[in-house]
Structures are given as C-alpha cells and as structure tokens.
Amino acid sequence: MQSKSKRRYILSLSLRITRELLRKKSVIIIGAGVSGLSLASYLQQCGYETRVFEKHLRPGGLCTSWQRKDYTIDGCIHWLWGSGKRSPFYKMWSEVLDINQVEFHNHKIRADIELPGVVNKYGSNVFHFYTNINSFREYLLDLAPEDKKQIDLLIKSAKRLQKFSLPPMLEKPRELFGLSEYFGFMLYTPMLFDYVRMGKQTNYQFAEKFHNPFLKTAWKYIFEGKENIMMALLMQMCIYDSHCGGFPKGGSLAFSRKIEDKSTRLGAQINYGEQVLEMIVDGETVLGVELENGQTHFADYVVSAADWRFTISKLLKDKFTDKFTEQLKSGLYDLFPSALYLALGVKKEYKNRVPITRHILPDPIILPDGDTVSRAESHVYNYDDSFAPPGKSMITVTIYTQKGQYWIDLKNNNPETYHQAKKELKDKLIDALSSKFEDLQENIELTELSTPATYHRYTGNWQGSLQGWLPKSSGSKGFPVKYRIKGLQNFYMCGHWTFPGGGLPVAVKSARDVAQLMCKEDKVSFLEK
C-alpha cells in the first residue's frame, strides 16, 4: 500500500514537472512604444506569453501622429533607417511587421539648408543636401571646382562605406558575441582607413580644408551648427543613396500600428490606459508589477521599455542604483534635446517645395526659457496625400531645446503662463515663416504647438528628450545603460536609452537583443523556423 502511494506521488510530481516544463513562460512589458511592441512580437514568435501595459490609449510612444480636423500631424519619423533591403535593419523591421505593406518615399533632397553670411556663385544662400551620392558630387563640383580634391575624398569615402553592412554585427547582442563575431570584425578593417582619414574628424575640421567659402560654411551647418564626427554624415549619405532611409507613407502612428498588429496576431495582450505604479520585488527578484488602479500582475520576467529615469527612480524606487547610475542621473551624459513643435494646417499647396528646409529666422526669437534661437526647421508633407486634404498643406516647424525641464515645470506650476508663452511663440514663429512661405499667414486654418511638457506627458521621457542620450561630438562613449541591472533577477530593459543617439533602430535592435538574451537564459531557440 505504501509502495502504491509512493508511485502515485511520483506520478503526480512528474506530471506537475511536465506541466511546468510545457508551460509557456510569461513576460510583462512596460510600455507599448516601438521597442515594447517589437519585443512582444519577438517573444511571441519564440513561444513566450506577453502582456504589455501602456499608460497611453494607443501604440507607438514617441513614434506617433495625431488628427486635428482634416489634417494629420506627425510627431516622429523623418526617415527610417532600414526601409530598404540593403540595410541590416530591414531584416529586423521585417521580423516585427509586414514591411511589404509599407510604402516608402525617398526624398531627392534630404534638406535645403539656409547659410548665414555667404552665397554661392548663383547668388543663393541655400545649400542642397542631395540624397543621391553622384548627384551630390555633381552639385558640389559645380559650386566649387577648386575643391575637387576634398569633394572626391568625401564621395569616395562614402562609396567605400557602401560595400559594408552598416552598422556591423547586428545579429546578436554584444553579451552573446563569440569568436566568430569578433573575427567577423576583421572584415571591417579596410573601413578603418576611411575612419582615420575622414570619419574621425569633425565637420568643423573638414570645413576648414575647403577653399570655397560657401562650402566651408555648409559643412559647419550640415549638423545645424553643431560639431559632429564626419562618420555620422558618411553613414547618412550611404543610407539615403541606397534608399534605406525612406519615409513611411501614412506617418508614424500607421507604422506603429503595423507592429502592434503583428504582435497581437501572434497572441500578445496589450492593455492601454493602464499605468504601472511600481514593480513588485522580493529581495533581488522581480515578480511582477502593481498598477495605479491597485491591480497586481505577476510573470516570469518583467521588461521595462519605458523611460530609463522613470524605471530606475519610480518603478524601482532607486533601490538598485550604483555610483555610475547616480552620475547618469546627475548629468554625466547630455540628453538628446526635446522640441518645440509647431503644426500648421494651411489652405494652400506648396507642391514644389523641398520637404525639409533649415531656415535662418529673420529675427532671433528669445524663448521663455531664456534661450535665443536664430534657426528653425520646416517640414512640408507635400509627398504624402494622407497629411492634408486636396489643395491644402501640413507644415511643421521644429526648434530643438535642451531646457525641457523648464517647460515641464512651467506647465505644472503656472499653467496660465505656460499657455500664454505657447501663444506668443506660435505668433512669433508664424511671423518668421511668413517671409519663407508665400501667402502663408492668411491661409492658416489650424495651429498647434507641442512643447517638452507635451512629450513628457504622453511618453514619460526624461525632460521630454526625443531620443535618450546625446552622442558626444567625439563619438559614443559606450553603452550607458545595460539590458540588465546587476543583482536584479528576472528583469530587463530595452528601448532608446540603451545606446547613445537612440531612435527607432535602437528601439527595435534592443528589443531583439533582449529577446535573444531571454531565450539564451531559458535555453529556447530564437526565431526558430
């Protein structure tokens, strides 16, 4: 009898173990931005059960757009790295959405840049940044044949870069690199010649080697007056020329919804309008999350695809910080700027305009935060019929600001002054643009100004930052935020805070990396066909 009871116990135990082994592991994801949605899609394809909690009422996070009257206002994508098959990011986008359903528009001219104090031989102060490398060369040589040596150095360096898959070694997270990956970097040694000779220098240093004053000034303003390494420009030239940096027709929200659609078709559950209050932690193990409505949810893993500062300080109560984390919170890395973003619905077409122009303002504008701005970027969505009714135009104007916290505090502490400041800034920007766009002022029928407080309210991004950490002019200082926090179990982070420069490529890449790390931990095949 005792032997029979023992056999039953062993059978029951083995059944429980079998059920546990067959049970899909569960993952809670905080944030339904591009990174969170992409992670849900990847994990569902690998056999996990995912549940996403998003405080907003729709997907995308920063990658969004919204409707006002008959107009669409886009808040994110200017160009998408990976829109063409020659980019390694194309494969990643194909893994998280049906990219064949997305139509991309590739601009002939990336931007028109108004330059101060100089004109070219035609009497114009506008520099055209062509996306086709050969067209760009012809344009530059026409303006400055005396600078042929420097121009050819630029063009040849860009064309040599096109022979490589850039950025290199995206297939695995760096934590899973083996000998084959490190040996793979040897294939890129020829690229070091161009990096040392060309890419490592800044645009300011490159500019000084030109004789032509127009081109000398143009290189200084290619990054809107900021100093950056030339490798960043060479990479952009390669991306645009290969049609791997197109704009998705329909805008940013439509793009995000395609990622959402695939993840839900795969079985992901997305809960909108549900703010995570804090994580449930037992010792050094994350067990789940508590929502603002008091509900608790548990899972095998929790992944934060939300703002880094919010995750560390709010969700984890600053209990898992070290000296480096405190330095990050205190400003060790500069934040990518936020923006003052004006949208104008105009009863007039501007079909022949280059979509993006970086303007010199007729008179500098003193912002309420104390900054003085003399430049602004306009974007005419005249290549996508979904943005405005026939015969009309959607125009946006962007001023970048490093004083996002000022606007957040102003809205919270003095909303009346905040709204008055917005109105005054709108009026000043419209006055300034009236000299740039024919018959603009009398045809405006819609105005809307977003501030860093707007970005912070909808996404929670620290100081309204648009893309996380700002890369230094001397190049990236490394990876400030790891996917895991030392000493904390069952927890990961992904999103644009994991690599300086942020943006959508980092969002999808970090999601893919975290999915691979989780699969490695659980001995599960990643995307096994």
How far is Cα 297 from Cα 376, in angstroms, rounded to an integer? Answer: 46
Phi, psi angle pair for 489, to nearest 5°: -95, 150
The amino acid present at 450, given as its one-letter code, is S
The amino acid present at 44, given as its one-letter code, is Q
Task: Note the pTM of the prediction, 2 decimals.
Answer: 0.92
Q: 């998705």: which residue's tokens?
A: 248
Nearest CA to 176 among 423, 528, 519, 418? 519
How far is Cα 9 from Cα 14, in angstroms, rounded to an integer? Answer: 8
- In this structure, what DSSP letter does residue 464 have? G
pLDDT of residue 15: 45
Q: Across-strand partners of 340?
A: 399
Instruction: Give percent helix, percent strand, percent coil of the chain, each to the nearest 5.
Output: 40, 25, 35
Residue segments in the chain with a per-residue pLDDT below the cut of 50: 1, 15, 18-19, 473-476
Q: 């935060």: which residue's tokens?
A: 369
pLDDT of residue 475: 46
How far is Cα 529 from Cα 314, in angstroms, rounded to an integer? Answer: 39
Q: What are the pLDDT digits (tens) for 470-521?
A: 876 434 456 788 999 999 999 999 999 999 888 999 999 999 999 999 999 9
Please measure the distance between the N-terminal and C-terminal CA atoms of the chain and give it in whole angstroms. Answer: 49
pLDDT of residue 13: 53
Q: At what angle do helices 452-459 and 404-413 cross, to 10 degrees?
A: 80
Q: Across-strand partners of 49?
A: 26
> Length of the chain in residues, anyone?
529
Longest dimension (CA), the chain: 104
Take residue 402 and report the two structure tokens written for it.
């490093």
- Indicate the Cα dihedral angle 284, 285, 291, 296, nearest 10°: -130
Sheet with 393-401, edge to edge strand ranges: 126-130, 109-114, 356-366, 372-380, 393-401, 338-346, 444-450
**Burial class of residue 86 in the structure, from the number of CB atoms within 10 Å of its CB (0-12 exposed, 13-18 middle, 19+ buried):** middle
pLDDT of residue 19: 43
Cβ contact 221:357 at 8 Å: no
> 327-345 burial, b if ≥16 CB within 10 A, otherwise e?
ebeeeebebbbbbbbbbbb
pLDDT of residue 474: 37
All domains of the chain in start order, with CATH: 21-61+254-333+479-522 (3.50.50.60), 116-242 (no CATH), 338-464 (no CATH)
**Burial class of residue 171 in the structure, from the number of CB atoms within 10 Å of its CB (0-12 exposed, 13-18 middle, 19+ buried):** middle
Question: How far apart, in Å, are the Cα atoms of 359 and each of 364, 373, 442?
Answer: 11, 11, 21
